[in-house]
């Protein structure tokens, strides 16, 4: 009988391990736009399981589970978090992607902006992501596998844009939340990686809403209309592929604040 070399035994073991690998990705806002593109790209790999958290379901796939939630209803989110973060004891990788976000009303503060709209934007863009991060870290603390949190941010969180005060402030808050949580995880030596990822200018429903703005309430509206007219908006599919590449190569990125523009 021929003896199987140690090299081939290792190769066989690695092949079996790869087949049995199960990665879990929890994605908010997965029914459309960038979130849907990320989910569909991940689902091309049979080793991935995707949990999509959104009001409606836009994906049908055997490895996809939809959890309905309305992020504007904070109490409902709080009462249903356990449905999102189910036990994943056999996970080889756990990833939370806080993608859902809203632009809110475009207009100048103090010029007819309803006060309740500030609350709405911060609930969706900051409060819910914070709740999800908190629950994700607590629920899977004992699970021994790599864990990653990606918060979809925006360049608007780094530079003021007139008419977007609430959106800019909420994304700045998300950036700082991400940086602070990463500092805490480093102090605990947990190995968890946290990122605030800016996707760039992407052809989504949010961009369509921006183009319909009144120039007296948003001075840069013509620039955003030109993006569309000149074909300068990235497709959700292209951005989704880049983000999935990033998810597979997070070890190459040490800074919390990252941009799709920095990726291959």
Check residue 213 and give its pLDDT. 94
Q: Which tokens sit at 125?
A: 């863009």
Q: What is the DSSP letter of 62?
A: T
pLDDT tens for residues 79-123? Answer: 999 999 999 878 999 999 999 999 999 999 999 999 999 999 999
> Which residues fall within 8 angstroms of residue 218, CB to CB, at 6 or more apart?
106, 107, 162, 163, 164, 210
Which of these is catalytic: 24, 64, 140, 167? 167
How far is the CA of 126 from the CAs of 102, 151, 153, 256, in angstroms? 10, 10, 10, 17
Which pLDDT value is given to residue 132? Answer: 98
The pLDDT, as a whole number, for residue 78 is 95
**Residue segments in the chain with a per-residue pLDDT below the cut of 70:** 1-19, 264
Q: Which residue has the tokens 């941010």?
A: 153
Report, at the CATH architecture level, how domain 23-200+235-262 is classified.
3-Layer(aba) Sandwich (3.40)
Q: What pLDDT shows up at residue 1?
A: 46
- pLDDT of res. 21: 87
Q: How far apart are CA 131 and CA 225, in angstroms?
A: 35
Q: Any idea where the domains of the chain sit in the sequence?
A: 23-200+235-262
* Per-residue pLDDT reduced to its tens digit, 207-234: 999 999 999 999 999 999 999 999 999 9
Whether 63 contacts 43, CB under 8 Å:
yes
Q: Is 167 a catalytic residue?
A: yes
Is residue 78 exposed (0-12), middle (13-18) or buried (19+ Cβ within 10 Å)? exposed
């Amino acid at each position: 009988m021929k003896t199987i070399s140690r090299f081939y035994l290792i190769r066989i073991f690695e092949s079996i391990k790869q087949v049995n690998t199960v990665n879990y990705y929890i994605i908010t806002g997965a029914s459309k736009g960038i979130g849907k593109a990320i989910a569909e790209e991940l689902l091309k790999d049979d080793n991935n399981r995707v949990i999509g958290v959104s009001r409606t379901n836009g994906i049908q796939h055997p490895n996809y589970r939809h959890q309905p939630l309305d992020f504007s209803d904070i109490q409902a989110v709080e009462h249903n978090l356990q449905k999102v973060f189910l036990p994943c004891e056999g996970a080889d990788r756990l990833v939370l992607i806080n993608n859902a976000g809203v632009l809110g009303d475009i207009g100048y503060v103090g010029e007819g902006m309803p006060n309740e709209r500030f609350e709405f934007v911060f609930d969706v863009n900051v409060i819910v992501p914070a709740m999800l991060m908190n629950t994700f870290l607590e629920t899977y603390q004992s699970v021994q596998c790599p864990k990653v949190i990606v918060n979809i941010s925006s360049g608007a969180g780094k530079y003021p844009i007139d008419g977007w005060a609430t959106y800019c402030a909420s994304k700045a808050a998300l950036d700082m939340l991400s940086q602070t949580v990463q500092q805490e995880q480093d102090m605990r030596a947990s190995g968890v990686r946290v990122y605030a990822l800016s996707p760039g200018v992407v052809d989504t429903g949010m961009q369509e809403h921006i183009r319909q703005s009144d120039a007296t309430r948003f001075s840069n509206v013509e620039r955003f209309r030109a993006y569309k007219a000149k074909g300068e908006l990235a497709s959700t599919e292209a951005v989704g592929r880049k983000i999935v590449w990033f998810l597979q190569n997070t070890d190459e990125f040490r800074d919390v604040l990252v941009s799709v523009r920095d990726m291959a």
